[in-house]
Amino acid sequence: MADRNAEHRIDQALRSRPPGLWPFLAAGYPSIGATEVILRRMGSLSIRGVELGFPFSDPIADGPVIQNAFTHALAAGTRVADIFEMVRDVRDEVAYPIVAMVSVSIVYRMGVESFVERARSAGFDGLIVPDLALEEAPQLATCAAAAGLRLSMLIAPTTPPERQARIAKLAGGFLYYVSVQGTTGQRAALPVDLSDHVQQVRAETGLPVVVGFGISTPEHVREVCGYADGAIVGSAIVKRITDALQTGADEAQVVEQVARFVDMLCV
Amino acid sequence: MTEKTSQTAIPDSAGRYGAFGGRYVPETLMSALHELEAAYAAARVDPAFWVELEAYLRDYVGRPSPLYLAERLTSRLGGARIYLKREDLNHTGAHKINNTLGQAILARRMGKRRIIAETGAGQHGVATATAAAVFGLDCVVYMGAEDVRRQMLNVFRMELLGARVVPVESGQRTLKDAINEALRDWIATVADTHYVIGSVMGPHPFPMLVRDLQSVIGRETRQQILAAESRLPDAVLACVGGGSNAAGIFYPFVEDKGVRLIGVEAAGEGLDRRHSATISRGRPGVLHGMQTLVLQDDDGQTQAVHSVSAGLDYPGVGPEHAYWASTGRAEYVSATDDEALDAFELLCRTEGILPALETAHAVAHCVKLAPQLGRDGVIVVNLSGRGDKDCVEVARLRGRKLGG
């Protein structure tokens, strides 16, 4: 944060009404340059923030679409340092918050303290480490808080209320509510009891709740934003890139198609 | 009745073995891990659980497995007396069945009607499919597409047993990727499904659970060697991929300080080329829900691994092995593909025993160690599995094609 008195970008985004879209992008897919251009384009859309996924070799929480994007990004040579450098380049050109979605393997290899420091200096505003369970999270939570990064933690439909409270105590920014018991990827319909769950989590924890997994259409986004503090769309956006590449689109066309789809998803 | 060990402080309540172990999974899986932990804690102190398991181990698996003095191998190598712990004689041909029967009984206690598993060489898949058949459970086995090719016979065996085998096309298309896919299945199906992990790996309580179930190997070995030699062995050898047969035979000897525990990893084409020697060359990291030693690059991305044996082709290792390596309680060495193939043939010709290629790595180290220990020495090699499944692959490597 350049100005320590300014409101944190994530808090500001969560406060703005109505709640809105948080698109997920796989860094380095189809190339780190393309990701950079897409991030710039997102600046002109009415999104609330971006979740930027660090490609990982073994993403157990992800379905086939994001797995494929990560495999492609790694095969294209995407390195952690490239992602930091790219974010640093776009940071001052866009106003929305950028949250790093990164596997614990990547964080631990670099070391918790140095990962947090590099993420902060690159201009990330928050972190989501989907495979870091509550019991293993205290060190990262402390480090992130000290650096002014918001650590969003996951809540699943199977998380008991008592555990939700302990997770919320450690988390910063928003809680990431996993809408379905499963991996990331499109679903035809959202669970019927999603609204009740989200409102229960928010009431019991007092934290904003953003919903992800299985959200893929403008209707889904509108519905979720009716009761949650935001909606994350991942696989459906990444799939637009895959589809565009399969039709032989060049990078400029890929960017255009992604931007058009994200614009359509914005409520 | 199963003996209660005095080493119960490891792991701690968070599943930690020193700096290793723990739980690194999406929140979606935590409730299932807590449920399993509670179910196993209850089963562990319930005599009925062990009575039922031991009846199956005796009457169905054929335990205790013999401890056999390999006289011709001993005299060929000209050193220590070599005993083979014959897990290859178990029903289904490997140690894996000790674990899958125990976990299937646990699954039934938890009211889960469906079990899933990953498999590398196919032995764990066959053992899981077998347990599913005998307990009437649905079974899905994930197997890397590359391993499906290398282990056609086991794929067919699993299908005969009523399991569905799903080839995994992601990543390197071997064991690591099969585990990813099994975890993804489990994330979506935790309510009615138990994941029968095949080795001493994954998030807590799996490494402890599988170690406890496999420890029957070491408990029998300890009694058998005392009966045969009136003393403990100088060294116990076992191959290490994830490390379940090694953990099973090592664990009851951990407090016998005079017994060297030696794990043999796959050096593949050599440690400076393609291999899967995780403890020899890995570094601390996180993979498949556990903190352990991992073969990974500077960004924390898991590296491609290689071994002639599909079952050792794994870039991580059970956290307790990483712990034993860090404390020096166990030693970890490696054997190359070529050394394992030579040992495979040596055991065939000297003893009439066709070992699994995984197991042949332990035999390969025995070839080096026996002369060093001299004629007064005693070595136990865990003969973890039989090699019928490997015949097609060995023939291919030797330039022969079998069958159609």
Here the CATH number for the domain that contains residue A139 is: 3.20.20.70
Residue-level pLDDT at B1: 37
Q: How high is the pLDDT of residue A3? A: 57
Instruction: Annotate A28-60 with DSSP letters as a single string.
Output: TSS-HHHHHHHHHHHTTS--S-EEEEPP-S--T
> What's the half-sphere exposure (Cβ side, CA atoms, 13 Å) at B211?
28
- Smallest Cα–Cα separation from B87: which of B57, B49, B131? B57
Q: Show the domain range for A256.
A: 19-265
SS3 B122: coil
Helix (H), strand (E), coil (C) string for A65-77: HHHHHHHHHHHCC
DSSP B163-190: PEEEEE-STTSSHHHHHHHHHHHHHHHT
Structural contact between residues B84 and B352, judged by C-beta atoms closer than 8 angstroms: no
Mean pLDDT, range A58-87, rounded to an integer:
96
Average pLDDT for A112-126: 98
How many structural domains comprise chain A? 1
CB atoms near residue B91 (< 10 Å): 17
User: What local confidence, expressed as pLDDT, does residue B3 receive?
Assistant: 43
Q: Does A103 touch chain B (CB under 8 A)?
A: yes
Asked whether residue A174 is assigned to any structural domain, the reply reads yes
Q: How far is it, in rounded angstroms, from Cα B11 to Cα A107? A: 24
* pTM higher than the cut 0.90: yes
Q: State the average pLDDT over residues B23-27.
A: 96
Query: Identity (one letter) of the amino acid at B213?
Result: L
B280-311: pLDDT as tens digits: 999 999 999 999 999 999 999 999 999 999 88
Is 90 exceeded by the pLDDT of residue B402? no
Q: Are A107 and B183 inside 8 Å of each other by CB?
A: no
B176-226 confidence digits (pLDDT tens):
999 999 999 999 999 999 999 999 999 999 999 999 999 999 999 999 999
Question: What count of other Cβ atoms lies within 10 Å of the Cβ of residue A142?
Answer: 15
Q: Taking a C-beta distance cutoff of 8 angstroms, is the pair B142, B172 a contact? A: no
The answer to whether the Cβ–Cβ distance between B27 and A134 falls below 8 Å is yes
Q: How far is CA A242 from the centre of its chain?
A: 19
Over its C-alpha atoms, chain B yields an Rg (Å, rounded) of 19
Tell me the three-class secondary structure of B6-58, residue by residue. CCCCCCCCCCEECCEECCCCCHHHHHHHHHHHHHHHHHHCCHHHHHHHHHHHH
| Residues of chain A with C-beta less than 8 angstroms from the C-beta of B23 | 133, 135-136
Q: How confident is the model at residue B28 (pLDDT cuts 50, 70, 90)?
A: very high
| Cα distance between residue B14 and residue B21, in whole Å | 8
What would the two tokens of residue A124 be?
Answer: 């990330």
Q: By C-alpha distance, which of A216, A260, A265, A211 is closest to A236?
A: A216
Question: Considering only CB atoms, which chain A residues are within 8 Å of B301?
Answer: 56-57, 74, 105-106
Note whether A56 and A103 are within 8 A (CB).
Answer: yes
> In the predicted model, what is the mean pLDDT of residues B219-244?
98
- Among the partner residues B25, B30, B301, nearest to A56 by beta-carbon distance: B301
Chain A: give the shortest CA distance to residue B167, in Å.
Answer: 14
**What pLDDT band is residue A72 in, cutting at 50, 70 and 90?**
very high
Whether A4 is covered by a domain: the verdict is: no
Average pLDDT along chain A = 95
Residue A250 CB neighbour total at 10 angstroms: 11
- With a pLDDT cut of 70, the percent of chain B lying above it is 98
Tell me the residue length of chain A. 267
Pairing of strands B283-287, B290-294: antiparallel
Quick check: B271 pLDDT over 80? yes
**B133 residue type, one letter:** A
pLDDT for A4 equals 60
Find, among A216, A211, A221, the residue nearest to A239 by Cα: A216
Give the span between the Cα atoms of B8 and B188, in whole angstroms: 33
| The two structure tokens encoding residue B156 | 């067919």
For chain A, percent of residues with pLDDT exceeding 90: 94
Model confidence over B96-124: pLDDT tens digits? 999 999 999 999 999 999 999 999 889 99
Longest dimension (CA), chain A: 51
Q: ipTM of the assembly?
A: 0.94
Query: Under an 8 A CB cutoff, do A108 and B187 touch?
Result: no
Of the candidates B31, B180, B286, the beta carbon closest to that of A105 is on B286
Half-sphere exposure of residue A173: CA atoms within 13 angstroms, side-chain side: 28
Q: Does B174 touch chain A (CB under 8 A)?
A: no
Check A7, A36, A51, A85 and give the catalytic one: A51
Predicted pLDDT of residue B7: 53
Mean pLDDT of A169-196: 92
- pLDDT beyond 50 at B132: yes
Geometric angle at alpha carbon A263, from A261 and A267, rounded to 5°: 120
Q: A262 falls in which pLDDT band (50, 70, 90)?
A: very high
The Cα B88–Cα B127 span in angstroms is 13
Size of interface A-B (CB pairs under 8 A): 119
Taking contacts as CB-CB distances below 8 angstroms, the residues of chain A near B183 are 60
Query: What is residue B141's predicted lDDT score, i.e. its pLDDT?
Result: 98
CB–CB contact A136 B302 (8 Å): no
Coil vs helix vs strand at B311: helix
User: Does the residue A11 lie in any domain?
Assistant: no
Pairwise pLDDT comparison (A85 vs A1), residue with the higher score: A85
Are residues B384 and B237 in contact, defined by beta-carbon separation less than 8 angstroms? Answer: no
Relative orientation angle of helices B123-135 and B96-109, to the nearest 10 degrees: 40
A252 assigned to some structural domain: yes
> Is 60 exceeded by the pLDDT of residue B4?
no
Beta carbons of B161 and B117 less than 8 angstroms apart: no
What phi and psi values does residue B90 have, to the nearest 5 degrees? -60, 150
How high is the pLDDT of residue B5?
Answer: 44
Residues β-bridged to residue B166: B142
Using CA atoms, how far apart are residues B125 and A204, in angstroms rounded to an integer?
Answer: 43
A63: contact with B, CB 8 A cutoff: yes
**Residue A13 resides in a domain:** no
Name the residue among B141, B361, B146, B374 with its Cα closest to residue B243. Answer: B361
Residue B337 above 60 pLDDT? yes
Whether the CB-CB separation of B68 and B81 falls below 8 Å is answered with: no
Average pLDDT over residues B237-245: 97
Phi-psi region of B202 (alpha: psi -120 to 50; beta: other; left: phi over 0): left
Average pLDDT of the residues in B124-147: 97
**Unique residue bearing structure tokens 């631990």:** A108
**Residue A131 covered by a domain:** yes
Angle, helices B319-327 vs B206-214, to 10°: value is 80
Q: Is B270 helix (H, G, I), strand (E, B) or coil?
A: coil
Q: Does A6 map to a domain?
A: no
Cis bond before residue B207 (omega within 30° of 0): no
Helices B96-109, B27-44: axis angle to 10 degrees equals 100
Q: Token match 């899958």: residue?
A: B100
Q: Chain B within 8 Å of A85 (Cβ-Cβ)?
A: no
φ, ψ for residue B336 (rounded to 5)? -80, 170
Does A97 fall in a domain? Answer: yes
pLDDT of residue B403: 66
